[in-house]
Structure 1
Amino acid sequence: MKIHIVKIGGHLINDRKCLHDSLEAFCKLQGYKVLIHGGGIKADFISKKMGVSPKMIQGRRITDKETLDIVVMTYAGVINKNIVAILQSYHCNALGLCGADGNCIKSYLRKMTNIDYGYVGDVNVKSVNTHLIKFLLKNNIIPVLCSITHNGIGNLLNTNADTIAAYIAISLAKEKDKDCEVELHFCFEKKGVLRDVKDSESYFKEINFHLFQKMKQNHTITNGMIPKLENAFFALKNGVSKVSIGQPNHLNDVNNKTKLCL
């Protein structure tokens, strides 16, 4: 039995037709499945409408108190519940959660170094409540997790959705259930990791860790793709069977996307 950990983001969430098509493809996956979503583009749109300018450093969001309220409202509210409603329309029984619900994902405030990220939570393997996730899966309920976590002392924190997906995959992989493998899929609007951002067909079929390091040095990849790939390789190094990056309509296709390998 496979457990598919699927993270969707980018313009997939912002475009209603793309979101429907993505979730329909997700529902067709065989085996257990968990969905994790971000929603940064929609959060940026709502922030600007409210007169709050989004701040990003190296692909990561700076979350002050005002921004935290906006992302909680956007991720845990509007986006999460819309996704659950669409999944129900495809007869996939889903439950929308943030990290505080059922103590699903407990995080800790990121330590301040040279950059103050604000109300941002980091996670580790112990952060994930695998007992709850497995209970839901075994009762045919699909967990739909947004990127809002909690610190256990009454505070919500904004956490990178790619990181959450990676740690959920790692935590479930470490459970070592017999005849069970965990696959991690990062889905967005591109066919994979692009060689040339202006050419949508120029995606890498495969990226190993050495090539990734070289791409960072040569600035072939920048911004949000760097933390995504860092999370992907971290998952591979910690027991996750397969990791890929691409479009959701290729979730069941082993070829038309970027595969990661060590």
Structure 2
Amino acid sequence: MTETLSIVKIGGNIIEDHEALSLFLEHFARLEGYKILVHGGGKKASELLHRLGIAPKMANGRRITDKATLDVAVMVYGGLVNKTIVAQLQRLKVNALGMSGADANSIQAHKRPVKEVDYGFAGDVDGVNSKILTTLLKQGLTPVFCALTHDQKGQLLNTNADTIAAEVAIGLSATFETTLYYCFELNGVLKDVNDKGSIITKIDSNSYKELVSQGVISHGMLPKLHNCFHALRHGAKEVRIGNLGLFEKENTNYTSLVL
């Protein structure tokens, strides 16, 4: 029987809220089986950039990562946020290991090519080192990935945390039965953004296309669901999107995505 693995990506609004983060980590600690946590930290990075007198730059909803922004991202993602989460998980008896993609060559990427926009030191994932991650998991460790990868030439790259979570789920799907969780402040994918109770409980490939054409899925939810179906098409068993209720066995108020 194939062993199960949960890959959980935590949203920025939960990271920003001390109480919500503590509650999330308690839920994560109780998750059975093997597990991996993935986080970003964009809001905290933007706050530090402002304090340093550096204006954050965005294009098409994505951060432009120049050298100064990359330095801040490394400090915030790989330092402050990552080690705070790791310390809290250790308190909860989870033997967490804070990681970037450069650690143990676990996630390789390349600098995003310049097309209409130069995103700077933004990385697009090439591959995941499933062998080393499997070894860590089998040794009882729980990897906690920040939103940083590397190009194997000494360059760190700022990489979307949703994408990292999807690629890790894909990379480990040959060894484990992987379920990918996107946990944020909303109950799931909503029919009406103004009605938090209008949860779409199940989306498959066909209904996804319809929801996009109807404009129900748009803006920031589009790239998230793109990552979801990319993961499903390449080996992930299921993707779930929702709030902390995702981890309550009796709860059905979340969005489940399947092919």
TM-score per shorter chain, which class?
Answer: over 0.9
- Long gaps (5+) in structure 1: none
**Matched ranges for 1:245-260 at <5 A:** 245-253=241-249, 255-260=252-257
Q: How far apart, in 1, do the equivalents of 2:44 and 2:189 lie?
A: 22
Shift of 1:243: 0.6
1:75 lines up with 2:77 in the alignment? yes
Which of 209, 212, 230 does residue 213 from structure 1 map onto?
209
Which of 190, 194, 200 does residue 196 from structure 2 map onto?
200
* Cα offsets for 1:56-79 (capped at 9, x unmatched): 333321111111111111100100
**Matched ranges for 1:1-262 at <5 A:** 1-124=3-126, 127-175=127-175, 180-253=176-249, 255-262=252-259
Q: How far apart, in 1, do the equivalents of 2:182 and 2:48 lie?
A: 24
Q: How far apart, in 1, do the equivalents of 2:14 and 2:223 lie?
A: 19
Instruction: Count the aligned residue pairs.
Output: 256
* Cα offsets for 1:88-140 (capped at 9, x unmatched): 1111110101111111111111111112111011013xx21111111111111
Q: How far apart, in 1, do the equivalents of 2:89 and 2:219 lie?
A: 31
* Cα offsets for 1:201-231 (capped at 9, x unmatched): 1221112223323333343333322111000
* SS across alignment from 1:54: coil
Shift of 1:149: 0.6
- Measured on the aligned residues, the alpha-carbon RMSD in Å equals 1.5
Residues 48/229 of structure 1: CA separation in 2 closer, same or farther (3 Å cut): same
Q: How far apart, in 2, do the equivalents of 1:220 and 1:213 lie?
A: 10
Q: How far apart, in 2, do the equivalents of 1:220 and 1:51 lie?
A: 38
Identity level (%): 47
Give, as a single letter, the amino acid of the residue that structure 2 aligns with 1:114: E
Q: How far apart, in 1, do the equivalents of 2:208 and 2:118 lie?
A: 27
Q: Is the 8 A contact 1:7 1:162 kept in 2?
A: yes
Q: How far apart, in 2, do the equivalents of 1:58 and 1:209 lie?
A: 25
Q: How far apart, in 1, do the equivalents of 2:66 and 2:91 lie?
A: 36
Which has the higher mean CA deviation after the structures are superposed, 45-54 or 236-245? 45-54
Q: How far apart, in 1, do the equivalents of 2:248 and 2:134 lie?
A: 22
Shift of 1:198: 1.9
TM-score, scaled to structure 2: 0.94
* SS across alignment from 1:219: coil
Q: Is the 8 A contact 1:58 1:223 kept in 2?
A: no
* SS across alignment from 2:81: helix
Q: How far apart, in 2, do the equivalents of 1:260 and 1:82 lie?
A: 31
Q: Is the 8 A contact 1:7 1:36 kept in 2?
A: yes
Residues 186/87 of structure 1: CA separation in 2 closer, same or farther (3 Å cut): same
Residues 53/215 of structure 1: CA separation in 2 closer, same or farther (3 Å cut): farther
* SS across alignment from 1:194: coil
* SS across alignment from 1:122: strand
Which has the higher mean CA deviation after the structures are superposed, 54-63 or 104-113? 54-63
Shift of 1:252: 4.1
TM-score, scaled to structure 1: 0.93
